[in-house]
């Protein structure tokens, strides 16, 4: 992994061109307002170009986005994250190009740190923040699973699991459009080498662990199914080098180095095995094209204001 980048200045002058932030939002009324307020608070004039793509929404996602000054809203009928990302890319103009999940309350300071990490000739092409996995108040199986999961090397080396990825202009030129897959972050991880990426440890996103064990199992099943689909597509399409699944990393890199985590590993193995078995079955008819855990979307009081 590349060395981490120092934080950017807290209050830089307005840049010559904005950083573009593309947010694909499907029924995110409950959390989108918080995300946008956190992102735009303290931003200098012209520093950010924020594009929210409300796709297949049945709630007031687009209305919530329009309430935030300076945010551009694009609406598409089909619920699809990759289709939404491509629609946002068609109207976004700035770089770095940042893809942000609607439930991640990232700040402009994080954007500045990622932008600084990508600045200059010969620098990395893609940057991600660190990750803080929130497990407060979760049941013990979720906490046990998280104790193993957050220590896996793939989540230090990879671009996924953070809800925020920044590409330089040269990095975005690496591909034309996002392929129609669920695992969009694994796709980006596949097309950049270790020397082309950087993790900026001075900033981090807050990622909410599932609230219940059943929610965790459903999330793991969706992730397994999406990753398997991308790996299968990579055998017939030029999708880069898709990271192979490492089924023993939990033992080699986590438990053998921290034997006190052995009880948590038993829970981790049981949950991942259960999810893997479920993922091998055909997806239910009419399954949503968006794979996410809606239970962690805590209601945003401002979303209900007229």
Model pLDDT for residues 163-175, shown as the tens digit of each residue: 999 999 999 999 9
Does residue 217 fall inside a structural domain? yes
Q: Is residue 298 part of a domain?
A: no
Is 157:190 a contact under the CB 8 Å cutoff?
no
CA angle 16, 20, 85 (to 5 degrees): 160
What averages of pLDDT result for each successive group of 10 residues across the chain (306 residues)? Answer: 41 73 97 97 97 97 97 96 96 97 96 95 94 96 97 90 96 93 84 94 95 96 80 59 81 97 98 93 59 59 44
For 122, how many CA atoms within 13 A lie in the half-sphere containing its CB?
A: 0
Q: What are 176-205's pLDDT values in tens digits?
A: 999 887 678 888 998 999 999 999 999 999
Residue 306 falls inside a structural domain: no
Q: Is residue 71 classed as helix, strand or coil in its secondary structure? A: strand
Strand spans (E) along the chain: 19-25, 48-55, 71-76, 97-100, 126-134, 164-167, 197-208
84, 51 Cβ separation under 8 angstroms:
no
Query: Into how many domains does the chain fold?
Result: 1
Of all helices (H) and strands (E), which one includes residue 63?
Answer: helix 61-66
The answer to the question of residue 176 being in a domain is yes
Range of the domain at 157: 19-282
Residue 296 lies in a domain: no
Query: What global pTM score does this model have?
Result: 0.86
3-class state of residue 132 by DSSP: strand
Let me know if residue 271 belongs to a domain.
yes
Kindly state whether residue 295 falls inside one of the protein's structural domains. no
Give the percent of the chain with pLDDT over 70: 83
Query: In which region does residue 6 sit, left (phi positive, over 0), alpha (psi from -120 to 50) or beta (all else)?
Result: beta
In this structure, what CATH number is given to the domain that contains residue 193?
3.90.550.10
pLDDT at site 287: 47
| Domain presence at residue 301 | no
């Amino acid at each position: 992994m590349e060395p981490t980048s120092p934080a950017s200045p807290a209050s830089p002058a307005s840049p010559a061109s904005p950083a573009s932030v593309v947010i694909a939002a499907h029924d995110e009324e409950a959390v989108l307002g918080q995300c946008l307020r956190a992102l735009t608070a303290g931003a200098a004039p012209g520093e950010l170009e924020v594009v929210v793509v409300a796709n297949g929404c049945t709630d007031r996602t687009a209305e919530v986005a329009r309430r935030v000054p300076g945010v551009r809203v694009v609406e598409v009928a089909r619920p699809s994250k990759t289709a939404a990302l491509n629609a946002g890319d068609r109207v976004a103009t700035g770089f770095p190009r940042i893809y942000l999940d609607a439930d991640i309350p990232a700040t402009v300071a994080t954007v500045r740190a990622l932008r600084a990490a990508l600045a200059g000739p010969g620098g990395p092409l893609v940057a991600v923040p660190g990750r803080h996995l929130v497990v407060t108040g979760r049941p013990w199986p979720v906490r046990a699973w998280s104790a193993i999961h957050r220590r896996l090397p793939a989540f230090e080396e990879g671009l996924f699991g953070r809800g925020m990825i920044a590409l330089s202009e040269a990095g975005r030129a690496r591909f034309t459009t996002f392929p129609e897959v669920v695992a969009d972050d694994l796709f980006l991880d596949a097309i950049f080498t270790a020397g082309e990426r950087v993790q900026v440890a001075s900033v981090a996103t807050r990622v909410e662990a599932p609230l219940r064990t059943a929610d965790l199992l459903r999330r793991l099943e969706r992730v397994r199914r999406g990753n398997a689909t991308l790996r299968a597509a990579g055998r017939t399409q030029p999708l880069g080098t898709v990271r192979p699944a490492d089924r023993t990393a939990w033992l080699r890199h986590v438990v053998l180095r921290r034997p006190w985590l052995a009880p948590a590993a038993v829970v981790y193995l049981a949950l991942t095995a259960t999810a893997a078995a479920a993922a091998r079955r055909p997806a239910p008819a009419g399954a949503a094209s968006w794979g996410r855990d809606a239970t962690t979307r805590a209601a945003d009081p401002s979303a209900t204001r007229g």
